[in-house]
Amino acid sequence: MSNRTDHPWWERGTIYQIYPRSFQDSDGDGVGDLAGIERRLDHVAALGVDAIWLSPIFPSPMADFGYDVADYCGIEPLFGDLAAFDRLLTAIHARGLKVLLDFVPNHSSDQHPWFVESRASRHSAKRDWYIWRDPASDGGPPNNWISDFGGSAWEYDAASGQYYLHAFLRQQPDLNWRNPELKAAMLDAMRFWFDRGVDGFRIDVLWHIVKAEGFPDNPPNPYWRPGITERDRLIQQHSTDQPEAHAIAAEMRALADSYGDRVLIGEIFLPNDRHARWYGTPERPQVHLPFNFQLIENAWDAATLRDMIAAYEASLPPHGWPNWVIGSHDAPRIAARVGEAQARVAAMLLLTLRGTPTLYQGDELGIGQVDIPADRIRDPQELRQPGIGIGRDRSRTPMPWDASPFAGFSTVEPWLPLNPDWPTRNVAAQEQDPRSMLTLYRRLLALRRAHPALAVGDFRLLDAPDGVLVYERRHGDERLRIALNLTDSSKPLPFAPEVLLSTLDPAPDGVLRANEGVISR
């Protein structure tokens, strides 16, 4: 594979996730918007990434901040309108970047006209576009399924005497992908955006979109204990990852492929063997990249990471391309998880592993722990299940651009608090610092562009001292080695280096310093 010359852009490139509410406010309401993103595009282009993924920007009541869609073919007025989107799309493409939208196929808003009609009567033409069931014999929910946000996954509708299914909030009724008319309407929504010029989609909770026929109870999870999310009290055996969902993913892929150089990224949380099935087969491919969250989910030590990387690589089908993520709008910040010193090592790991990396806004600044006061919590997941550390607001705080009031993000108090060190940890300050996290990310991304071994080369794990992760990337005659010290003590460097980049300056001399990563010839 290392000598291939036909790698598509999504294999060679890097994706940058923007959470629109928190990137840049252009109209003084404390919430980011499309015009704000357009204003800050030069920062994204200067990073050296290849594509921007926008979290949902469709019309929404914002019960779950855009993941409750009320119109799949429009723009939420809080963010702008279709004309503003077209301007942004043109501006992104003018900088040589791609645009991915966040498609939410498992559920809509309960205010979507489809659901309003579905709910109006048992005999509605769109009744079967959603999942309705009669009560159990005792009058309760049809089965024991639990919402990902806690509580029953079923909501009773007194007017019709039936329950509807919602894998998330009750304001997010699940769509019925077994209904051919609903499926056609959703594929038409994807087609609407492809026709407008978008380059692909990140597909939200793709593995949820079909449920087992008959709706049997989910089995109990023997490992569950209090303090873990209520959802995990059961194993989601019948409510997720059903065989029929793969056929739908293949139809989505066929649609994307009909537009040429497009990409589909599926949000899928599954063990390696089941995760790999979402690539499909060469004859009937599914998503290009089933998102791989294992750098977020695993302990941060060399032995664990080595085993995880090896197992993931081994699980990939021959036609499957890997991908990696260390941060997102749902996950704790990497610098909050492992500390700023190791966050620099994590940046090098993310950008030198084989596969497509996805960066999350603000991680290039090393934003760490942001404590959200109780009266500022906005995340419905945290509000419904407080005290167990699952709040997502901490990763959705506004981008700090400079040391001016409200960090240059807005002219008023932002919708969420800024990181507490924003007067010094901001884009403008880090642009002036040759040793800043931002400078490190720019240098790493420049190396990926300059060295095919890093972008598309083969991968091989190498022997290393305890606490150190070492691997080789190779393309043609070029061979690069990466050594990452995941400890706070010095370690011997297991090869004679010609250092291209160190996470610490100056470059090392035969020793891998504490919390240091190096890329060497």
pLDDT tens digits along 460-487: 999 999 999 999 999 999 999 999 999 9
Q: Binning pLDDT at 50, 70 and 90, where does residue 2 land?
A: very low
DSSP state of 503: S
In a domain, 146, yes or no: yes
Could you say which of 391, 417, 444 is where a domain stops? 444
**pLDDT value at residue 227:** 84
**pLDDT value at residue 509:** 76
Q: Is the pLDDT of residue 255 over 90?
A: yes
| 430/485 same-domain check | no
Average of per-residue pLDDT across 26-33: 98
Q: Binning pLDDT at 50, 70 and 90, where does residue 331 land?
A: very high
By CB atoms closer than 10 A (0-12, 13-18, 19+), residue 289 is: buried
- 495 versus 345: the higher-pLDDT residue is 345
| 82/201 same-domain check | yes
Query: What distance in Å separates the CA atoms of residue 327 and residue 69, rounded to the nearest whole number?
Result: 24
Average of per-residue pLDDT across 62-76: 98
pLDDT tens digits along 355-402: 999 999 999 999 999 999 999 999 999 999 998 889 999 999 999 999
DSSP state of 197: T
| 364/463 same-domain check | no
| 28/71 same-domain check | yes
| 198/323 same-domain check | yes
Q: Is the pLDDT of residue 508 over 90?
A: no
Q: How many domains does the chain have?
A: 3
In a domain, 322, yes or no: yes
Query: What distance in Å separates the CA atoms of residue 61 and residue 229, rounded to the nearest whole number?
Result: 25
In a domain, 453, yes or no: no
DSSP state of 517: E
| 131/65 same-domain check | no
pTM for the structure as a whole: 0.97
- 155 versus 507: the higher-pLDDT residue is 155
In a domain, 232, yes or no: no
Strand pairing partners for 357?
A: 324
**pLDDT value at residue 4:** 52
Q: What is the CATH number of the domain that holds 156?
A: 3.90.400.10
In a domain, 80, yes or no: yes
**Residue 130 sits in which domain range?**
113-165
Cα-trace Rg, the chain:
23
**pLDDT value at residue 494:** 80
| 418/475 same-domain check | no
Q: Is the pLDDT of residue 352 over 80?
A: yes
pLDDT tens digits along 101-159: 999 999 999 999 999 999 999 999 999 999 999 999 999 999 999 999 999 999 999 99
Average pLDDT score, the chain: 96
- Chain-centroid distance, C-alpha 437: 21
Query: What distance in Å separates the CA atoms of residue 204 and residue 234, rounded to the nearest whole number?
Result: 21
In a domain, 231, yes or no: no
Q: Binning pLDDT at 50, 70 and 90, where does residue 228 land?
A: confident
User: Which helix (DSSP H) or strand (DSSP E) does residue 449 occupy?
Assistant: helix 437-450
Average of per-residue pLDDT across 180-193: 98
Q: What is the CATH number of the domain that holds 412?
A: 3.20.20.80
Query: What distance in Å separates the CA atoms of residue 24 and residue 170, rounded to the nearest whole number?
Result: 30
| 386/462 same-domain check | no
Separation in Å, CA 91 to CA 18, 81, 87, 217, 441: 15, 15, 6, 49, 23
Average of per-residue pLDDT across 235-261: 98
| 91/140 same-domain check | no
Q: Which residues are marked as active site?
A: 204, 267
Could you say which of 417, 444, 471 is where a domain stops? 444
| 383/341 same-domain check | yes
pLDDT tens digits along 406-429: 999 999 999 999 999 999 999 999
| 308/408 same-domain check | yes
Backbone φ/ψ region at 280: left (φ over 0), alpha (ψ -120 to 50), beta:
left
| 285/364 same-domain check | yes
Q: What is the CATH number of the domain that holds 497?
A: 2.60.40.1180
Amino acid at 186: M
Asked if 204 and 105 touch (Cβ cutoff 8 Å), the reply is: yes
Could you say which of 444, 474, 506 is where a domain stops? 444
**pLDDT value at residue 5:** 61
In a domain, 509, yes or no: yes
In a domain, 342, yes or no: yes
**pLDDT value at residue 3:** 44
